[in-house]
């Protein structure tokens, strides 16, 4: 038997009043978006002077004030030149490999002919 009365029993909470006294719930969807500002747009952030924007599930780097537009154009031209040079070098490597394959095949044919001539000479 407890000394100070019954065991702990908290007071019951009073019933809640109306959930909302606002009349915004009666507005249509488009009016609510305008009123409540639900048009956020795509998320953007700045990291080390680089502006990034989230669009279509990917972060896209934007040109901010820290990067000069002329510098970007110069880098794009340089990138294009390097891609063209890379394609030319790949073509040259392919041609050299074809030439090597051809000369190796000719060498094997000559060795085979030479071996056949040696065998036929020994038989005589």
Q: Which of 49-53, 73-77, 91-95 has the lowest mean pLDDT?
A: 49-53
**111 lies in the same domain as 96:** yes
Closest CA to 63 of 47, 78, 51: 51
At 66, the pLDDT band (50, 70, 90 cuts) reads low
**61 lies in the same domain as 76:** no
**57 lies in the same domain as 75:** no
Q: In whole angstroms, give the CA distance from residue 69 to residue 94.
A: 38
Structure confidence by residue, pLDDT tens digits, 81-99: 999 999 999 999 999 999 9
Q: In whole angstroms, give the CA distance from residue 46 to residue 64.
A: 9
**93 lies in the same domain as 75:** yes
**Domain interval for residue 112:** 68-124
27 or 52, greater pLDDT:
52
Strand locations in the chain (E): 44-47, 50-55, 58-62
Q: In whole angstroms, give the CA distance from residue 46 to residue 54.
A: 12
Q: What's the structural domain count of the chain?
A: 2
DSSP 49: T
- What pTM value is reported for the model? 0.43
């Amino acid at each position: 038997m407890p000394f100070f009365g019954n065991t702990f029993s908290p007071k019951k909470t009073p019933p809640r009043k109306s959930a909302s006294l606002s009349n915004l719930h009666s507005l249509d969807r488009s009016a609510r978006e305008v009123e409540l500002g639900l048009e956020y747009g795509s998320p953007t952030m700045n990291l080390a002077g680089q502006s990034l924007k989230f669009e279509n599930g990917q972060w896209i780097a934007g040109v901010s004030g820290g990067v000069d537009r002329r510098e970007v154009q110069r880098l794009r031209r340089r990138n294009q030149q390097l891609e063209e040079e890379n394609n030319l070098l790949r073509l040259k490597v392919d041609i050299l490999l074809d030439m090597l394959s051809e000369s190796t095949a000719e060498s094997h044919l000559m060795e085979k002919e030479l071996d056949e001539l040696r065998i036929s000479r020994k038989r005589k």
